[in-house]
């Protein structure tokens, strides 16, 4: 992207965190030069093909879309919010911040002014996750697995991905990016390290969904999927 010009101060469009009603990271789109290669990678690592170019999980059939691009980047982020009133409020904050958007009663769309990917926010919420199957662990004073090997040793199938968990973006425009995601879109800041050197944000209640950190240019650092436990990480 080209140089980022001065953006209107976000103080004028900031809202109290409790008023911001983003509630889910629904799915992301990743663009790469060889989309089939990335698609096949995820098929081999616990995701399923649910449509052409679309990867999903048993609980959430649309989690990741793979598209062709000249370089690897995040091309779209799809979020959800609680109500039509939230859509109207987000659209107003975008306008107040000088960011072009299109909206109707149930959806608002814009382009991230820092990273250049599309952002779509719809009224709705993520599908609930099926509770994790409990493994039998032996711990101090508690023997629940007797005369049998650990599940992870006996497991022969690829662990299933549960959801796309978070995205990490890097940029030299750190303050502007944090302001945009927190004060305009409505991400909640959950933690910061080294006095804001890296900022963790969330839209769901159990884990951060976005991290923004310094970088030499505005780019996708990585994205992560969630599996059931540490054994599933090792098996993957």
pLDDT for the residue 13: 41
Mean pLDDT value of segment 13-29: 72
Residue 181 — pLDDT band, cuts 50, 70, 90? Answer: very high
Phi, psi of 175 (to 5 degrees): -60, -40
* Rounded distance between C-alpha atoms, residue 23 and residue 123, angstroms: 9
* Rounded distance between C-alpha atoms, residue 235 and residue 8, angstroms: 48
pLDDT exceeds cutoff 70 at 118: yes
Global pTM reads: 0.85
Mean pLDDT value of segment 199-220: 95
CA-closest candidate to residue 208, choices 196, 185, 191, 228: 191
Helix or strand holding residue 172 (H, E): none
Q: Which domains does the chain show, CATH number per domain?
A: 17-125+158-235 (3.10.180.10)
Question: Using one digit for the tens of pLDDT, what is the confidence trace for 29-78?
Answer: 999 999 999 999 999 999 999 999 999 999 999 999 999 999 999 999 99
Question: Using one digit for the tens of pLDDT, what is the confidence trace for 81-100?
Answer: 999 999 999 999 999 999 99
Residue 234 — pLDDT band, cuts 50, 70, 90? Answer: low
* Rounded distance between C-alpha atoms, residue 94 and residue 180, angstroms: 9
Instruction: Please report, in angstroms and rounded to a whole number, the separation of the first and last CA atoms in the chain.
Output: 35
Residue 55 burial (CB count, 10 A)? 25
Question: Using one digit for the tens of pLDDT, what is the confidence trace for 102-115?
Answer: 999 999 999 999 99
Residue 228 — pLDDT band, cuts 50, 70, 90? Answer: confident
């Amino acid at each position: 992207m080209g140089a980022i010009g001065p953006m209107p101060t976000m103080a004028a469009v900031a809202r109290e965190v409790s008023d911001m009603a983003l509630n889910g990271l629904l799915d992301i789109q990743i663009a790469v030069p060889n989309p089939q290669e990335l698609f096949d990678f995820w098929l081999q690592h616990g995701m399923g093909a649910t449509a052409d170019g679309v990867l999903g999980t048993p609980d959430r059939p649309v989690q990741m879309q793979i598209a062709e691009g000249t370089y690897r980047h995040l091309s779209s982020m799809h979020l959800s919010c609680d109500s039509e009133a939230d859509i109207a409020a987000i659209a107003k904050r975008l306008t107040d911040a000088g960011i072009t958007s299109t909206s109707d009663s149930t959806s608002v769309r814009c382009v991230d002014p820092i990273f250049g990917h599309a952002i779509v926010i719809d009224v709705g919420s993520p599908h609930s996750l099926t509770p994790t199957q409990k493994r039998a662990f032996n711990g101090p004073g508690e023997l629940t697995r007797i005369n049998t090997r650990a599940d992870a040793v006996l497991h022969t199938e690829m662990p299933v991905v549960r959801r796309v968990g978070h995205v990490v973006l890097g940029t030299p425009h750190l303050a502007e990016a944090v302001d945009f995601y927190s004060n305009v879109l409505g991400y909640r800041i959950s933690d910061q390290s080294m006095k804001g050197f890296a900022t963790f944000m969330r839209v769901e209640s159990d884990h951060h969904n976005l991290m923004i950190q310094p970088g030499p240019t505005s780019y996708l650092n990585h994205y992560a999927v969630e599996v059931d436990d540490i054994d599933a990480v090792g098996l993957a």
